[in-house]
Structure formats: structure tokens, C-alpha cells
Amino acid sequence: MQPNSAYDQLTQQIAKWRSRRRWYNAVIWIPRGVLAALLAAVGLATVARLRPLLTNQELAIIAGGIAVVGFLISITALFWHQESLGLEAAYFDRLFQLKERVSTAVEIQNGNLTTTPEIADAQLQDTLKNAVRVNFTIALPLKLNRRDVFLLLIALGLLIAAITLDNPQETVLQTRRAVSTAIEDQAAALEALAQEVQQNPNLNDEQAAEILEPVTDALAELQNNTLSQEEAMAVLSEAEADLRALSNEFNGEDLQQRLQTAGEALANQTASQGIGEALKNGNLARAGSELAQLADELGTLSQAEQAQLAQDLAATAAALSTTDPQLAAQLNNAAAELAAGNQEAAIEHMQSAAATFQQRAQETAAAQQAQNAADQMTVGQQEIATASQSGSSQTTTNAEQNGQSQNPSAGQAGQGEGQAGSGSAQGQADSQTPDTGGQGTGGSSTENIFVPDNLDLSGEEGVAIELPVECRNNPEQCGPLLNQTPTEFGQEGSSIPYSQVFGDYRNAANEALTGDYIPLGLKGFVRDYFSSLEPDN
């Protein structure tokens, strides 16, 4: 074995070489690790420009993170990995051309090679003498690789360009995210609406179930993450149509108005004042309670009061004869029995009428609930329709222009806005005509819709058309044109009720709204137009 002092000097020399080797490798491999990370970021940026994946800001954050990860991986790989002393000695022998002196000295010191002490000492001294002569700074220079630096600068430049230049896909991405957020918001709103319907004390189970069906169906569709903007709007539009149909089915506005008018006579009498006041206020449930209470107290009324009550009930029944025959018959029977002095029969009919009042109150509440739900569907459609516009506004003007040129949906949205603006301007220009209603951008509902009147062309002369000779000589050869009977102006009106044909036109419009051939910016106007043309409106 050799003296520890000489061998310690050798190991110290090897330690210096090891440290130098690590820094040499760091100068070489850390830039390469960062280069690999930047190339990965450039690839990601390329994908983000081919499809809507990331915004420029998100790309910058991710690219910075990838570069840091690449740097840390390189540092960890270089300084964490440790080689055995024998492997390092063999490496330095090859690098410094020491002809296996260092590895032999290490093997002798470790006992892997057996020799005499004299030979071992001589070999160690020779190794140490040659080791100290090595200029390891030349063999292991701390110098960057020019090619790596060149590639690193190119990758960095490409990445900076990808981050700073407008991304045409960013508008599409912002639009999709805005639409997705709007759909999620509407799904949450429908969940709250479903709870509201379930907790409405004025609805019976059947009415609540009928209103909940289109709401829950729409909610289930909106919770499907694969829905596009047009599909989500079509779902809400279908639910709105179903809810408005339910509202019309439950609708008792005409009945309520007639009861309010009829309640004035009942309110002027002391015995029926509570019923009359409730009817005037439109509170049918309270009117039913007051009528039931009056039936219980009928025996305490004088004959004059009963006679007056019979007249008032008969007048109320007459007012309701065309609106609610069932309630009118019950009130009329109560009035007739009361006038005849048959109190028991009158009480029975009054109690039946009170129960009908309660039923009509539930129907009115159901109609109002369905109407409110339909209005919420309309608002939801408008918010989803305008979500694409709000998403586009988050990008720069150049990004909007590029996005509209590459993305059909965004381009249609922009085109729709332009057409909407033109329509608004035209509405202002036509505001002198009586039936014109304007509407601003955004697809909000309108109260007045322009419907052109039929023109009276009775005093107009047609354009003279010179017919071919064969048509003048034999009109039958030219088809039915010359054999048609002239239209008598003034008889243009249709004999088909408007309410019967409107549903077909509305359904055709809703079906067209689900397609892509109607610009997105105009879909709200089309929907509002047909909503305003509802027969009940």
C-alpha cells in the first residue's frame, strides 16, 4: 500500500478535474436542455396557431415554465449523478492521455491490483508527477458551443415572435371559452329555476311537473360539454317555446280581467266586500277563501242582503259566461238558489265556486311561472349569443380581424353585428312610419315590430310587355299566364286564422336557427321577431 499523503494528493487532483468536468458539462448541456425546452415551447406555439389551444399570455407562462424545467433537469442530471473514482480515473486517463496511470494507481490503492510496495510507490509518484503537469483548462474549456447558442437564439426568437405577434386562433379560443362559460352560467341558472318551480307553493304537483319537464330537459342538454353555441341556443329556444305553450295553456289573464271588473259590484256590498276587493286586486285565491267564508255565514244575512248578493253573483256569472263557463255556471246556480230561498243548495254552489276560484288561482300562478321561465330562456339565449362578442373583445383588433377571416363562426358573428347596425340605422330612418320599432345591438326584445301594410295597387298600371307573335295568336301555347283572371284588389286578406299558421312559421324559424346559414349576430333578431309576433302578444 502507498503512503496516504501521495495518494491524497492524487485524489485531490482528481477532485479538481471532476469539478472542472462538471462545469464543462454544465456549459455544454444546460444550454442544450434549455434549447430542448424552447423547441418544445415553439412546437406548442405552432400548434396554438393551427388550432385554438392557448392564448399568447398563457403560452408565455407555459414557455417560461418549460424553460425553467429544462434548466432544472439539466442541473440535476449534471450535479446529482456521481461516478465511482475508478470510472473517473479511467475517463481522465483517456482525456489527458495519461496511459492508464491514474486508473492503475487507484486500482493498486483499492487492492484490485497486487504488486510490491516499491513498484506501487514508483507508479504512484510517476502518476502524480504527470497529473500535476496536466493543463485541464485546455482539455476542459468553459466555452459555449456556437452551434448550440445559434440554435438557442433562433428558438428564443421564434418563441418571442409567437408570443408577441397576434394569434389568429386566439379570437376563436376566447369565443369558445366565453360561450362555454355562458352555457355553464345558464345551466346554473336553470338549476336555480328548477328549484324555484319545485318550491313554488302556488303550484300543484301536476303543474310543477309540466313546467319542470322542459327546464330539466334543457338543463341536461346544457350540461353536455360538447354543445356548440348554436346547439345551446337551439336547446333554450325549444324550451322557451314549450314553456310559452304551457303559459298559454294555463293563461287566465282574460278571466282575471273580467273578474276584476265584476268584482266592483261585489265590493260595493257589505256582505261581499271581501270577495269584491280580492277580485279587484286579482287575488283569486283570497277571493275563493272569502266566498267559502261567505257561504258559511250565509244564514246570518238578511233577506235583502241575500237578494242583493244573488243579483251580484248573477251579474258576475254573466260576465264570465264566455270566459269561464264552469265558474259562471256555479255562480249562476248559487244566485238562482239564493234568489229562490234555497240556502243549502246556494251554499253548496258557492263552495264549489270557491274551489274553482282556488283552482283558477293555481292556473294563473302556473301561467306566470311558465312565463317567467320562458323569459329566462330568452335572456339565456341572448347571453349565449353575445358571449362570442364579449370573447372577441378580449383580443386585439388585429386578432379579431384575423380570427374572423379564419373562423367561420367568429366571422359570422362580426357580420351579424354589422347587419344589426344597418338594421338599426334603417329603423331610425323609417321611424316616421307608424308601425316601426327599433332595436339596438345585442338581440334584446322589442315591443314594436315593423310589419308592412298591404299596398293598394288598384290605381297602378302594369308594365307593358311585348309578347311573342305565337303567344298573341295562340295564348294557350304560352302557358296559363295569358289565361289567368286578374286579381281583384281589396280582397287580399286570408281567411285562415293567424293563430293557426303562426306555429308553422315559428317552428320553421327555430329549425333554421339551429343551422349555420343564418349569421350568428342575426339569430337574436330573428328569435325576437317571431316572439313578438306571438298571437297572445
Which DSSP string corresponds to 412-444?
Answer: HHHHHHHHHHHHHHHHHHTTTSTT-----TT--
pLDDT of residue 213: 93
Residues in contact with 325: Cβ distance below 8 Å, sequence separation at least 6, in sequence order: none
Alpha helices in 393-407 (DSSP H): 397-406
Does residue 463 sit in helix, strand or coil? coil
pLDDT of residue 69: 92
Among 16-20, 111-115, 401-405, 530-534, the least confident range: 401-405
d(CA 396, CA 39): 27
Among 153-162, 194-203, 255-264, the least confident range: 255-264
pLDDT at 63 exceeding the cut of 80: yes
pLDDT at 247 exceeding the cut of 70: yes
Specify the higher pLDDT residue, 91 or 295: 91
pLDDT at 330 exceeding the cut of 50: yes
Which DSSP string corresponds to 207-246?
Answer: HHHHHHHHHHHHHHHHT-TT--HHHHHHHHHHHHHHHHHH
Closest CA to 231 of 179, 178, 177, 188: 179
Residue recorded with cell 442530471: 77
pLDDT at 401 exceeding the cut of 50: no
Q: For residue range 404-458, what is the model confidence (pLDDT) as tens digits? A: 444 444 444 344 444 434 333 333 434 333 343 334 333 444 344 455 555 565 6
Share of the chain above pLDDT 90, in %: 17
Mean pLDDT of 388-399: 56
pLDDT at 384 exceeding the cut of 90: no
Residues in contact with 368: Cβ distance below 8 Å, sequence separation at least 6, in sequence order: 247
Q: For residue range 131-152, what is the model confidence (pLDDT) as tens digits? A: 888 888 888 999 989 999 999 9
pTM tops 0.75, yes or no? no
pLDDT at 202 exceeding the cut of 50: yes
Specify the higher pLDDT residue, 159 or 451: 159
pLDDT of residue 489: 52
d(CA 280, CA 103): 111
pLDDT at 510 exceeding the cut of 80: no
Mean pLDDT of 52-79: 90
Which of 219-228, 259-268, 420-429, 453-462 shows the highest mean pLDDT?
219-228
Q: For residue range 454-486, what is the model confidence (pLDDT) as tens digits? A: 556 566 666 566 666 556 666 666 655 545 555
Distance of CA 498 to the CA centre of its chain: 35
Among 246-250, 257-261, 427-431, the least confident range: 427-431
Residue recorded with cell 267559502: 292
pLDDT of residue 513: 74
Which of 116-130, 180-194, 509-523 shows the highest mean pLDDT?
180-194
pLDDT band at 260 (very low <50, low <70, confident <90, very high): low
Report CA-CA distances (Å) from 310 to 79, 141, 274, 289, 330.
105, 117, 16, 18, 12
Among 185-199, 234-248, 320-334, 434-448, the least confident range: 434-448
pLDDT at 338 exceeding the cut of 50: yes
pLDDT band at 488 (very low <50, low <70, confident <90, very high): low
Mean pLDDT of 146-174: 91
Whole-number average pLDDT of the chain:
77
Among 160-164, 213-217, 443-447, the least confident range: 443-447
Maximal CA-CA distance, the chain? 147
pLDDT of residue 537: 64
